[in-house]
Homo-oligomer: A and B are copies of this chain.
């Protein structure tokens, strides 16, 4: 695919000044990538100045939430430039998400070219301190203006990016969510689509009022085994072994999840992907058999969990942060930031574009 670099995009980049405070996902890079899908084919891509999208008020995405997205990070990678972490996994997951909502999957080559061109041109915006990154957000949406509940015939694919601080939510207190569900059986739980996130906002707002940070979602089918947090996968350490819910159709297949499992096995840890009953888990925390728990995701990498709240009961983890969480976090970040050898071939180097 050929990508047209608009001169205005280069001008935006040259004129951009990094704010002193970045936050996470709030400062946007001054360029974006766009490709359009119409009449069964993808257009050439363009790198444009970041700016408002012109969307028809009847566009399907605004009414029927026909959209999906990805999140990945670009890091300063040693002296070699900029590294992306396993972007081909995000490309594959976005194709899966798109198909679940009857959208044309973004071809892997288009996804990779788009992410590459944005990162290559935003290399100067990748912050340099450990844990900081350029957060990259590809998204796809149905744009056909038509109020019928049918799949759109027109789509737009964008990649935007946000220079971001390290995201450290600190020790998290989770609320065991026994009322709401994040996703349905045979629903969209294993796809990265907007509806999952919209549905989760009510639970988050309720638990914040109770002093908690995140919901721990149960499986919508059995209402008794742990699925995940909103946007992060769940891990627990029991008797020194690492346990995480097995993929079951309603859990998002996290890239960080899979990478931590690989690193844990590589370090000789005993690893179990299995159904974890919530009442068993709470009991094991209470008895001290489950010593630590943590969540993982692209943004925070690894976040220790200090407490699980269930109705009137509170279950405190003995170690937060615990040694396994910290060991895995360090191992992953060392690879991502080029301090450790990339033994699994996870890093994808981006050649910096001259502006």
Interface residues of A (CB under 8 A from B): 24-26, 28, 32, 50-58, 61-67, 69, 71, 100-102, 135, 137, 139, 141, 145-151, 158, 160, 162, 179-188, 193-202, 204-205, 220, 223, 230-231
Q: B50 and A52: CB pair below 8 A?
A: no
Which of A51, A57, A162 lies at the interface centre, i.e. has the most chain B CB atoms within 10 A of its CB?
A57
Count of chain copies: 2
Q: How close is A95's CB to chain B, nearest CB, in angstroms?
A: 14
Q: A63 and B102: CB pair below 8 A?
A: no
Q: How close is A337's CB to chain B, nearest CB, in angstroms?
A: 22
Given A101-B202, A137-B63, A141-B62: A187 in contact with B194 (beta carbons within 8 A): no
Q: How close is A201's CB to chain B, nearest CB, in angstroms?
A: 4
Out of B64, B146, B151, B187, which one reaches A180, CB within 8 Å? B187
Given A57-B158, A65-B193: A205 in contact with B151 (beta carbons within 8 A): yes
Query: CA–CA, A67 to B187, complex, Å?
Result: 19
Out of B25, B54, B58, B67, which one reaches A148, CB within 8 Å? B25
Query: CA–CA, A17 to B185, complex, Å?
Result: 47
Residues of B within 8 A of A193 (CB): 65, 195, 198
Query: CA–CA, A53 to B54, complex, Å?
Result: 5
**Apart from A65-B197, A100-B202: 20 A-B pairs, beta carbons within 8 A:** A25-B58, A25-B148, A28-B145, A32-B57, A52-B56, A58-B160, A62-B139, A63-B197, A64-B197, A102-B201, A149-B230, A149-B231, A181-B184, A184-B184, A184-B185, A184-B187, A188-B199, A193-B195, A195-B195, A195-B196
